[in-house]
Amino acid sequence: MVRATAQRLRDRRRRAADRRFGIHLLGSAAVAAVAAVPFGLLLVLVEGHWQPLRRLDVGAARRLNETALEHPAWTHTLRFLSDRVWDPFTLRTVVALLTVWLLYRRAWRLAAWSAVTAVAGGLVGLLVKTVVERARPSLEDPVAHAPGYSFPSGHAMTATTSFAILLLVLLPMVPRALRVPCWCAAVVSVLGVGFTRIALGVHWFSDVVGGWLLGLAVVTLTTWAFEAWRTDAGRGHAGLTEGLEPELTGARPRTQGGAQHP
């Protein structure tokens, strides 16, 4: 009798934690753009045509365009990285496959976090582009072209959210000695994406910074929601060096009290 009562209490707490997790996750995604103070400041400067930022944007675009024109092989490499390796479609496909794998592992909440973070990042970026309607750089001799509006950079934002998802999900399965190199590789990739977009003349410098900041805001807020659920569920806080769900290292999901976890 006592054991059955205790089990019912645990089930009730778990269900309450799950409800709070959903509220935290969806709420965080909805307010990601307005909660990003650094991004908001940058947006004000872009919309206000702040001259120091404008000079930086134009100067960087012109100098990198001259370099691209003088070194065709370098430009070809940049196009390959931007349009094949770090292309948003490629990164989103990888994240989608990861989410499917998490569902197979019955890591339901981690799969939800991955999907919501990726989708929210794409939708928020598209919304801001539509509202701001900033034109892309117009160069005399362009080496590349891209459709749509310019601010923020969709490539930079997708790279930020995608590499964050991959790291925070897969870190528990990476040997400790390799975790720092993995973080370094992710950071270099995110910075590299931004550089290729500026060097190819399809984005201003401030577009790329805006994509980084907005992507980071989305990841930060959805990650906070996930950590809030872990705390409510009594599973403890997992540091960034351990990934969001250290329990994912188990070979197969296990059942506890009727709920399945990785």
Inter-residue contact 18 to 234 (CB < 8 Å): no
Tens place of pLDDT per residue across the chain (262 aa)? 656 666 666 666 666 666 665 665 555 555 554 456 778 788 888 888 889 999 999 999 989 988 888 888 999 999 999 888 889 999 999 999 999 999 998 888 889 899 999 999 999 999 999 998 899 998 888 888 888 899 999 999 999 999 999 999 988 888 888 888 999 999 999 999 999 999 999 999 999 999 999 998 888 888 877 777 776 666 655 556 677 777 777 634 343 333 444 4
- Determine the pLDDT at residue 98: 94
Q: What is the CA radius of gyration of the chain?
A: 21
Task: Please return the burial class of 26, using the count of CB atoms within 10 Å of its CB with bins 0-12, 13-18 and 19+.
Answer: middle
- Determine the pLDDT at residue 251: 39
Inter-residue contact 238 to 245 (CB < 8 Å): yes
User: Long-range contacts: 227-232, Cβ < 8 Å, 24+?
Assistant: 228/20, 228/21, 228/24, 229/17, 229/18, 229/20, 229/21, 229/24, 229/25, 229/109, 232/16, 232/17, 232/20, 232/21
Inter-residue contact 114 to 102 (CB < 8 Å): yes
User: pTM of this prediction?
Assistant: 0.78
- Determine the pLDDT at residue 220: 83
Inter-residue contact 86 to 155 (CB < 8 Å): yes
Number of domains in the chain: 1
- Determine the pLDDT at residue 91: 94
Compute the distance between CA of residue 86 and CA of residue 204 in angstroms, rounded to an integer.
18
Compute the distance between CA of residue 204 and CA of residue 125 in angstroms, rounded to an integer.
16
Position 217 in a domain: yes
Position 182 in a domain: yes
Kindly report whether the peptide bond that precedes residue 152 is cis, defined as omega within 30 degrees of 0: yes
Following CA atoms 228, 231, 7, 11 in sequence, which dihedral angle do they give, to the nearest 10 degrees? Answer: 0
Position 1 in a domain: no
Q: Which domain holds residue 71?
A: 12-248
Strand partners, 260: 255
Q: Which structure tokens are listed for 4?
A: 């059955």
Position 255 in a domain: no
Compute the distance between CA of residue 161 and CA of residue 91 in angstroms, rounded to an integer.
9
- Determine the pLDDT at residue 259: 40
Q: Which structure tokens are listed for 53?
A: 């930022």
Q: Which helix (H) or strand (E) holds 256?
A: strand 254-256
- Determine the pLDDT at residue 255: 37
Compute the distance between CA of residue 114 and CA of residue 243 in angstroms, rounded to an integer.
13
First CA to last CA distance, the chain = 30
Position 6 in a domain: no
- Determine the pLDDT at residue 9: 61
